[in-house]
Amino acid sequence: MTRLVTTPALAALLALAACSSQSGETKALPPVNVKGASLQAGFGNFERLVEAAQKEGRLTVVGLPREWVNHGELMDVFSDKYGIQIESLNPAANSQQQVDAVATAQKPDVFDLSVDVALANAAKFAPYQVTGWTDIPDEVKAANGTWYAGYGGYMSIGYDPRKMKAPASYAELLKPGGRPAGTTVALAGDPLKNASGFNGVMAASMQGGKFDARRGVQAFSALKKAGAVAAAPEQATAVLDWDFLNAARSAANKANWQVTIPAGSILASPYVQAISASAPHPAAARLWTEFLFSDEGQNILLRGYARPSRMEAMQMKSTIDNEAAGKLPKVNGTPVFLTIPQQDAAKEYLQKHWSQQMS
């Protein structure tokens, strides 16, 4: 029986990509037997943390486009609230490029990462358990506090309603004759370099809750040969992208852009936060994390159409922005997730075949 996933059910969304089985059964992350560093460790209390962060006076972030899940407002409010200047490095950086930036002269303090990159680089992060730690589902945080999900999203189809109706499925969108003549499809980015692009291919590959990278590549190869792949997302009739990004585009111009999450093909993924072990501004890094996971910070993300990790707890405490929650794209079905082995195998397949098939 298909389960209706209501928009506030982030726990369902985040029951976790990294550890679910091929059948959709979810399993917890293996425990990490290292005590996490709480707020009190090193700073005493929140007031002392604020004082230390203000003395540092700066925070360096990386890979945070202002339009991505309302990060622009998040940074502006934080800076105004605490009087801390934010330096934003390479907003377009992908997860691995964020971590690699540690080796540059402009060392970032904090990261916003996909789960696979966080798992692979956990030794580079400083353990820290934010206030509200228990509100974050266990499935989406390392027990020692090296990383923890701040928000998540679903893969979706954004489309121009003037030119096509909402696709009932990815298969319908991608098959020959499945769209009106002259319409085109695009990924949000290069699937060899970009998580949105990669997950778009994998969403297109889904059948019965299972993934087949070959099927996804073949679908886009057929589109390419038919001349139905747009040169850029902004030129496409339909774009496969995270629901929070398609929803933001729709909010800007609903007459020209709408978003749908095909029932039965719900690919979900969290984005996780981490503090650099070599952060130049360690207090500001922790204060930023505290702010991001506060009710205020989580509601700012929610207004950017993300599904914040503390959403369920905030609903129970009546601190959620209900108006913003009501604007999230609707989902009907059970979310499915790519395991780390599935991601690795799919990425290996795409490295070997994507460029050749799309040339």
For residues 108-123, give the mean pLDDT.
95
How many angstroms separate the Cα of 31 from the Cα of each of 141, 145, 214, 297, 342?
10, 11, 34, 28, 21
Q: Is the per-residue pLDDT at 35 higher than 50?
A: no
What pLDDT band is residue 166 in, cutting at 50, 70 and 90?
very high
Looking up tokens 């890979």 gives 63
Give 185's pLDDT tier (boundaries 50, 70, 90): very high
3-state helix, strand, coil in the chain (%, to 5): 40, 15, 40
CATH architecture of the region 40-152+269-327: 3-Layer(aba) Sandwich (3.40)
pLDDT value for 210: 84
pLDDT at 30 over 90: no
- Quick one: fold of 154-268+334-358? D-Maltodextrin-Binding Protein; domain 2 (3.40.190)
Task: Write out pLDDT tens, residues 264-284.
Answer: 889 998 999 999 999 999 999
pLDDT in tens, 60-78: 999 999 999 999 999 999 9
Residues 260, 329 contacting (CB under 8 angstroms) = yes
Residues of the chain with CATH 3.40.190.10: 40-152+269-327, 154-268+334-358
pLDDT tens for each residue of 244-257: 999 999 999 989 99
Q: Which residue has the tokens 């945080």?
A: 141
